[in-house]
Amino acid sequence: MFFFFSINVDHKSCAETGQELMRPYLHEFLTSAYEDYDIVIWSATSMKWIDAKMKELGVTDNPNYKITFMLDNAAMITVHTLKRGVVEVKPLGVIWDKYSEFYNRKNTIMFDDIGRNFLMNPQNGLKIRPFMKAHLNRKKDKELYKLSMYLKEIAKLDDFSGLNHKHWERYLSKKQNQ
């Protein structure tokens, strides 16, 4: 199984550190996901910036999980849509073609807080709530905690293509009440 996790590494003021901005449950989420999935970080920034932020967040060298690989803005493509105009997107097809023996549309999920990033493969995208104003929202934010439970549930499936990730919370609630 395979999942892409888009971590916002570009929302920072000079007064905030990566640790202060880190979304609650990040390491617990990645540790849990690593039990069932290959983890890929894909950010719309440069690799230099991604490397720096992943180190600052303690992701790169965490002993509880490993990142399979990371992708930067160079792996994104530009598309024109009638609704949104010209936008940059994250095309999973490139990965599926290159690593077809491991990854495909049936075993891949991508989390991002920007829905247009999965325009090329909407069935595989799950739009997460953005995490902003960390100092105000840290204690309330349970998004990654709940998403880790969702990933555990769907890891039992051989094929994700029948899932509607827009309703992931409803799916999780239903499974937990069975």
For the chain, which domains are there? Answer: 2-176 (3.40.50.1000)
Confidence check: pLDDT of 29 > 90: yes
pLDDT per position as a tens digit, 150-174 = 999 999 999 999 999 999 999 999 9
Q: Residue 137: what pLDDT?
A: 73
Across 11-34, average pLDDT: 78
Structure token digits, residue 137: 């929202």
Residue 97: how many other CB atoms lie within 10 Å: 11
**146 vs 8, 32, 105, CA distance in Å?**
18, 11, 23
Residue 136: what pLDDT? 75
- For residue 145, give both structure tokens: 């905690």
